[in-house]
Every structure is written in C-alpha cells, then in structure tokens.
C-alpha cells in the first residue's frame, strides 16, 4: 500500500496548487497526511501559522480547539476546499479521501442510494457497494427514500455511508455530530468507531467536544494561535468508559489546555457547547 501522496487539488477556484514542494513519498512507512509550516491567512487575519501535522495510515486523530482556532480551515485545506498560503506550506494527502461535514449535504433530487454512489460510474458493482454501505449504517430499508424524508441522524448516516463506500485512505470528519441531538450523537460516535475499526482509514476528526475526542481518537491535538500546542496519545483501552478515572483525568487536562475552567471536574462541560466554528 505505498500509494504516493499528492497535493489536494483545490476545487475552490480550479487553480493548480503545485508549488515548489512537489515531493512524492513512496516509502512503506509513509504517513497518510503530511503537513509542514502550514500558513493560512484570510485578509490580515492569520488563521494557521506554521502548523505541522503527521497522521499515520489507519490512525484516528482528533483536532480540538475552541471556535475560530482554524480547525475547520485546516480540514478544508486537507480536503482541497481552501488553498494554503503558497510559498511555504507543504500539504500532502492521499488521493482517495472523503469528507463528512456537519450538515449531511445530500442532493435532494437523488434517492438515498444514488446519493451514496454520487460521482461514481453507474454500474452493478457501484450499486451493490452502495447497498452494502447503507446496510453498514443500518439504512438498507431507506435506499429508495428521498433525503427530505430522513431525520437528521439518518441523513448523517447516509453521509457517512457515502464517505465510506469509496474505501478512502483518509476520512475527514468536520464536526459530523455537531448538529445531532445528544442521544443520536452517542450512537453515531459508536457507529463511526466501529466502521473505522473495520475499514481502517486514517481519520482526522475536527471537534470541540472533548468527550467525543477522548472517546474516539488514538491521538488528540489542540490547535491554538495557528499551531498545534498539545499532542497527546491516548492509552486508555477501548471501549472507553466515561467514568473511568483515566478518561476524567484526560478530560480535565485537555480542558485546561483549551483554557476552559471547569467546576465539578468538568462533568457539565459537554452540555455547554460553543457555537459551531
């Protein structure tokens, strides 16, 4: 599996971002994501200022940070939806990458199965794969349904099936549970954990929910002032129990790193979510 990494082709304005860093990595130990000196400014506002990021194949990384710290911008750069500032940033990602956004972003005029298979050549194999993916997220019976008839959680599961049906090497999750209710969120987190354990893509999850990050990730990074200031590998065995002392300790220290003061050891914090960035 030594697929060369490539620049994310931007679809934002069609410009080709091939800069001075057209490095091709082919070693077997090659990471799934390789980012160096990433800088991104919007006008005069510096959002990312020399961020470095490596994600190994099959690794689940969570990016934490309060609103406006540039987590989503970083993810959008990895997805090819934003261009980094050219002259110094190096961004390499695998060719096969898919994204799940905060909103399901389904095409309302396509039935669920067609939404899952979107952009793929029409064939028997594609249809079978879409049906398998829908079965994995528990929505086999909705294959012929229109997106407008789905609940929020169901629509988001379709979006997950659409992202996984291509067997991506890199799965980008942009606060995929942010718009869901608390109970659906818990179920979705379990579903994502299970499916990622089966498909083993490298995952970059952007979230501001500390519990979610601890529950799912192999490694947690905190973004502050345009750089990663914390890089914690989690050694708590899965499934991770919220009441485990190690879980609670981890949360307390991560919240402290994010500058959030907590009473009662932070038990209430998950409820008071900041607005989506």
Partner 1 sequence: MSVLLEPMSGPVTERLRRDSPAPVRLVPAEMAELERPKFLGSRPRSRSISLVVRASIPVVLLLAWWYGSASGFISPTVLASPRDVLRALVELFETGDLKLFLLASLGRAGAGVGIGVSAGLLLGISSGLTAIGEEIVDPTMQMLRAVPFLALVPLLISWFGIDETFKVVLIACSSAFPMYAYSYLGVRNVDRKMVECARGFGLRGWRLLVQVILPSTLPSLLMALRICLAISVVGLIAAEQVGTTRGIGYLVLLAKQYFRQDYMVLCILLYATLGLIFDTFIRLLERITMPWRRHSSIR
Residues that bind partner 1 (CB under 8 A): 11, 79-81, 98-99, 101, 103, 105-110, 118-120, 146-149, 162, 166
Q: How far apart are the first and last CA of the chain?
A: 35
Residue 11 vs 44, nearer CB to partner 1: 11
Q: Token pair for residue 190?
A: 């379990």
The per-residue b/e assignment along 13-47, b for 16 or more CB within 10 angstroms, e otherwise, is eeeebeeebeeeeeeeebbbbbbbbbbbeeeeeeb
Residue 186 tokens, joined: 């818990």
Longest pairwise C-alpha distance within the chain: 56
CB of 89 to partner 1, least distance (A): 20
Nearer to partner 1, 33 or 232 (CB): 33
Task: Report in angstroms how near the CB of residue 96 gets to partner 1 at its nearest.
Answer: 10
With beta carbons less than 8 A apart as the criterion, state whether 108 and 146 touch.
yes
Residue 21 structure tokens: 């860093």
Min CB(149)–partner 1 separation in Å:
5
Question: Shortest distance, CB of residue 171 to partner 1, whole angstroms?
Answer: 12
Report the nearest approach of partner 1 to the CB of residue 65 (Å).
Answer: 22
101 versus 228: smaller Cβ distance to partner 1: 101
Least gap, CB of 40 to partner 1 (angstroms): 17
Tokens matching residue 114: 């067609």
Strands 33-42 and 97-100: unpaired
Closer CB to partner 1, residue 46 or residue 81?
81
- Rounded to an integer, what distance in angstroms lies between the CA atom of residue 1 and that of residue 188? 29
The residue (of 122 and 271) whose beta carbon lies closer to partner 1 is 122
Residues forming a β-bridge with 54: 34
* In the complex, least distance from residue 131 CB atom to partner 1, rounded to whole angstroms: 17
- What tokens does 36 get? 């160096």
Residues 6+ apart with CB under 8 A from 2: 26, 27, 28, 30
Q: Which of 181, 249 has the CB closer to partner 1? A: 181
Q: Which is nearer to partner 1, 78 or 213 (CB)?
A: 78
Please list, in sequence order, all residues whose beta carbon lies within 8 angstroms of the beta carbon of residue 180, skipping any fewer than 6 positions away: 152, 153, 156, 188
The helix/strand/coil state of 140 is helix
Closer CB to partner 1, 82 or 211, in the complex: 82
CA distance 15 to 37: 21
Burial class (CB in 10 A: 0-12, 13-18, 19+), 272: exposed
Q: How far is the CB of 72 from partner 1 (least distance, A)?
A: 13
């Amino acid at each position: 599996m030594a697929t060369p990494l490539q620049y994310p082709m931007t679809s934002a304005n069609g410009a080709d971002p091939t800069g001075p860093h057209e490095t091709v990595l082919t070693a077997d130990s090659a990471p799934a994501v390789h980012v160096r000196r990433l800088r991104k400014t919007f006008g005069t506002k510096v959002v990312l200022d020399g961020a470095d990021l490596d994600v190994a194949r099959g690794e689940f990384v969570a990016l934490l940070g309060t609103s406006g710290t540039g987590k989503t911008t970083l993810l959008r750069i990895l997805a090819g939806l934003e261009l980094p500032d050219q002259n110094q940033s190096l961004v390499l990602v695998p060719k096969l990458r898919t994204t799940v956004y905060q909103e399901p972003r389904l095409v309302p005029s396509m039935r669920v199965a067609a939404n899952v298979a979107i952009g793929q050549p029409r064939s028997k194999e594609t249809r079978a794969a879409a049906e398998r993916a829908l079965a994995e997220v528990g929505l086999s019976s909705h294959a012929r349904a229109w997106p407008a008839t789905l609940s929020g959680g169901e629509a988001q599961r379709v979006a997950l099936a659409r992202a996984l049906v291509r067997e991506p090497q890199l799965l980008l999750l942009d606060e995929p549970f942010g718009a869901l209710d608390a109970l659906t969120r818990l179920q979705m987190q379990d579903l994502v954990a299970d499916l990622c354990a089966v498909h083993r893509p490298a995952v970059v999850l952007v979230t501001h929910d500390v519990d979610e990050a601890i529950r799912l990730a192999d490694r947690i990074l905190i973004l502050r002032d345009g750089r990663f200031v914390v890089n914690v590998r989690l050694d708590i065995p899965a499934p991770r129990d919220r009441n485990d002392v190690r879980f609670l300790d981890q949360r307390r220290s991560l919240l402290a790193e994010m500058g959030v003061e907590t009473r009662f050891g932070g038990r209430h914090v998950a409820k008071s979510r900041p607005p989506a960035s």
